[in-house]
Structure 1
């Protein structure tokens, strides 16, 4: 009998959902995937749902448009905690290459993918995250997870050798995502009236992780979730959709809003670290992934963290400027992650455990 994980730093093995569909050709969803919390799909309404804000990085750079775009960015971070970013400087060719090779990886035979399978005690590799019991509900998703930057944290044992050149593509993509994160964190800090250079430097030297998601088609999509509702523990998260089919949903004013993919856009999602450092002015939104009956969906997610010597707490400069009391405790980076990995999934939201 397999040992059960003691915390969230590793996960039990789970079946490949793609194999259930492609090889076993199931026509109904196995009981362990059926969830009660899917019933709150957006209800049909005569009123159109709001759209996730669109931010143009080119306008953030240009002095002529910068002030107006910074105001839009501030409102997006305050009211949504998520936005779509265009003109971000990452080439369309690289984005297409990353999407293509990610599709090719998930299309490999299962035995080839299992060469990079997760091992007990760790999160890297092909598998699933945060499955700590045999009774736990599963997500309709196959996942591959890598630590990418700084380069010394890489474990090349998990870096896939197939398809050809995938390692090189991941390397280039990760470095370009870091450039986007460094720039955006600086602008986000500016929106709060904080030192943009200090924030940017923390992410230039920070830690980056890559999560590749495959959401196979599903015979009963309204009974499952690709990823259950959650907030991210990152500073920010950068998501690239690999197609035109909406799957990401964000909770806004009690409604689930689908994020319609925009060609070559990157979805920027604020994590708990920025909510804490903004003392609650900016929000880490609840979001989830839904699946489809007819079509598979892929997404490429980059988790962005500041360097490990940065304390996680309300920015002192902001507290001094506003005169507001801090809403959250201040922790070392190590304490923050330790609290998350020892957090009990079925209890209060993680960020609420950090409130004063």
Structure 2
């Protein structure tokens, strides 16, 4: 896409295949950043992110839409059930991803991304059906958010142009010292929405809620949805793009499939007039062309919410 490239690093999967007991020094986190795995410091498992019934949302149920509004304001994350994507489509996607990562590294390298792109492997699996279904779900969520933000149902899509989608397939191998490392560092996403298909059996995703890390417990066949930076900016900070991270597991590898819904790169993003109240909620972000935002986003290391500082205005 020409948005920027990532710093090349060795394949974690290959490191684990060759030596499953050692953890390279470069991946060991600073003391304060390590996941708390001892019993007294576990994330508060009494907290669970909201669950939205997508079938009710699609039928314009007002109660469910209010639940969506609260989820986006207070959590920035929610799970959706009854989304209409057939179980077979979800299973085929997971199976294809697992099979790809089982290939020898020499075979996977045939599908490596270009040298000037983000490190990883090209999307050679059969993604058409899955990405088509995800796009339908994303469009319906967008329509409901548009109404909540004072627009017509197609308002956000009109403002952002044709929605683009990128899919990232993540593989987290087993780790002998999950107390020392993270699968992915704390960050918020740079798009508009992210829809994540989790492993049904392993809890690996954690989100930051009121300064504590909360486990996102898998619900079989559900999708995890989170507000990303562009929607936080468009909502003038009413809807939250939240820090999240992945932890590793000592006994079992984990996969996840993230679909990033992105604005048209040439469109401008900034607070909607319907979300600005100069007396009670003044404008918090400047306008910026999305391509400029995402290129600056990719130029920085994953570091919490530092990316939205790029466009934050100083409120006096």
TM-score norm. by structure 1 comes to 0.80
Residue of structure 2 aligned with 1:293, choices 245, 250, 253:
250
Question: Match of 1:302?
Answer: 259
Question: Match of 2:236?
Answer: 279
Summarize the alignment of residues 250-261 of structure 1 with structure 2, pairs less than 5 Å apart: 250-261=207-218
Distance in structure 1 (CA, Å) of the matches to 2:43 and 2:103: 44
Summarize the alignment of residues 146-157 of structure 1 with structure 2, pairs less than 5 Å apart: none
- 1:78 aligned counterpart, secondary structure: helix
Distance in structure 2 (CA, Å) of the matches to 1:77 and 1:347: 18
Q: Number of paired residues?
A: 309
Root-mean-square deviation (CA), in Å? 2.4
Moved more, 54-63 or 66-75: 54-63
Residue of structure 2 aligned with 1:120, choices 115, 119, 123:
115
Question: Match of 1:56?
Answer: 53
Is residue 266 from structure 1 mapped to residue 223 from structure 2 by the alignment?
Answer: yes
- 1:196 aligned counterpart, secondary structure: coil
Is residue 212 from structure 1 mapped to residue 169 from structure 2 by the alignment?
Answer: yes
- 2:249 aligned counterpart, secondary structure: coil
Distance in structure 1 (CA, Å) of the matches to 2:211 and 2:112: 38
**8 Å CA contact retained: 1:183, 1:200:** no
Distance in structure 2 (CA, Å) of the matches to 1:28 and 1:251: 29
**8 Å CA contact retained: 2:197, 2:256:** yes
Residue of structure 2 aligned with 1:178, choices 112, 121, 135:
135
Question: Match of 2:27?
Answer: 33
| C-alpha distance after superposition, 1:117-170 (max 9, x if no partner) | 2332112x62xxxxxxxxxxxxxxxxx4xxxxxxxxxxxxx343xxxxx3xx31
Distance 1:174 1:111, change over 3 A: same
Distance 1:95 1:71, change over 3 A: same
**8 Å CA contact retained: 1:278, 1:315:** yes
- 2:151 aligned counterpart, secondary structure: coil
Distance apart, 1:323 and its partner CA: 6.3
Distance in structure 1 (CA, Å) of the matches to 2:212 and 2:188: 16
Distance in structure 2 (CA, Å) of the matches to 1:309 and 1:8: 12
Unaligned runs of 5+ in 2: none
- 2:19 aligned counterpart, secondary structure: coil
**8 Å CA contact retained: 1:308, 1:333:** yes
Summarize the alignment of residues 135-146 of structure 1 with structure 2, pairs less than 5 Å apart: 144=121
Distance 1:309 1:174, change over 3 A: same
Unaligned runs of 5+ in 1: 1-6, 127-143, 145-157, 161-165
- 2:221 aligned counterpart, secondary structure: coil
**8 Å CA contact retained: 2:160, 2:264:** yes
